[in-house]
Homo-oligomer: A and B are copies of this chain.
């Protein structure tokens, strides 16, 4: 497939590289910032553009991968094209594209992407939705060229999936970050806690998290809970998080 990337962020970067490695051609990379566009385009042997007037109109797929707030604005500026237009957003309904294209869909890779961290997409679930069966087949073929785990997912399911991803990924990482700061205050190295983080994730690879909860809250060990609250009294925000999550575990 010939693909135009609209966006140069984490998701655009990882999808672009994976599609390119799988033999597809990234024709252009558009970004509001020509420097960002160039940065990614150079990796992909694509043309960098920052004007919609320069858009190649002969590609097979236009992949809009920008922050959710900017999707509509990008779609509004697209010249009228009779090719497939997709977005990559977890929480944006597919139907937002319908005023701008007859053939459209969603390619949502359920993964956490940082530019600095290489990811093998082959085990990453890629969730698809499309305006018709023909488009869905084309998206399936494209997604299957980079992942073994390609599934259909409706817009309603996708937003639930995105919220679940926020809890289990973004929020977990923030809890790791709180741990990082707590350790640093006591001159303890973050290395100490890395095996625990890995085992906690590893444990739910073949068990359900609701079956393997451990710690003072699930044991209703009030002595320890109160001691921890006492220790957190200089960090009111972390104390609130501690109390709310402990109460939710006990419930």
Q: A residues within 8 Å of B by Cβ?
A: 10, 67-69, 90-91, 110-114, 116-117, 119, 123-125, 149, 151, 153, 156-157, 159-183, 185-188, 190, 192-205, 207-210, 212-219, 221-224, 227-228, 231-232, 237-238, 240-242, 244-245, 247-249, 251
Give the distance to chain B from A181, nearest Cβ to Cβ, in Å: 8
Give the CA-CA distance A124 to B170 in the complex, in Å: 25
Q: Is the CB of A249 within 8 A of B174?
A: yes
When the two chains form the complex, which single residue of B123, B207, B218, B222 contacts A170, counting CB atoms closer than 8 Å?
A: B218
A172–B214 Cα distance when bound, in Å, is 11
**Cβ-defined contact, A177 with B210, below 8 A:** yes
4 more A-B contacts (CB under 8 A) besides A123-B195, A124-B195, A198-B201? A69-B222, A125-B195, A161-B186, A174-B217
User: What chain B residues lie within 8 Å of A208 (beta carbons)?
Assistant: 177, 180, 190
Taking chain A's interface residues, is the majority helix, strand, or loop, or is none over half, making it mixed? helix
Query: Are B183 and A175 within 8 A (Cβ)?
Result: no
- Residue from B159, B203, B204, B245 within 8 A of A171 (CB atoms): B245
Q: How far is the CB of A210 from chain B (nearest CB, A)?
A: 5
Question: Are B207 and A117 in contact, CB atoms less than 8 angstroms apart?
Answer: yes
Knowing A112-B199, A204-B194, the reply to whether A224 touches B168 (Cβ < 8 A) is: no
Q: A110-B196, A245-B171 are in contact. Are A164 and B177 (CB under 8 A)?
A: no
CB distance from A77 to the nearest CB of B (A): 18
Residue of A149, A166, A221, A231 with most chain B CB atoms under a 10 A cut-off: A166
Bound together, the chains give a CA A181 to CA B211 distance in angstroms of 12
6 A-B pairs with CB atoms under 8 Å apart are A111-B196, A112-B203, A167-B182, A171-B175, A176-B209, A197-B204
Q: Which residue of chain B has its CB nearest to the CB of A201?
A: B201
Closest Cβ neighbor of A200 among chain B residues = B169
Contact across chains for A209 and B180 when beta carbons are under 8 A apart: yes
How many angstroms from the CA of A197 to the CA of B170 in the assembled complex?
A: 10
Centre residue among A116, A156, A181, A197 by max chain B CB count within 10 A: A197
Q: Which of chain B's residues has its CB closest to A178's CB?
A: B167
User: In the complex, A194→B168 CA distance in Å?
Assistant: 9
Within 8 Å CB of A159, what residues of B?
227-228, 231
Interface pair B160/A199, CB less than 8 Å apart: no
A183-B161, A241-B244 are known contacts. Are A197 and B168 too (CB-CB below 8 A)?
yes
Kindly state the separation between the CA atoms of A120 and B147 in the bound complex, as whole angstroms: 32
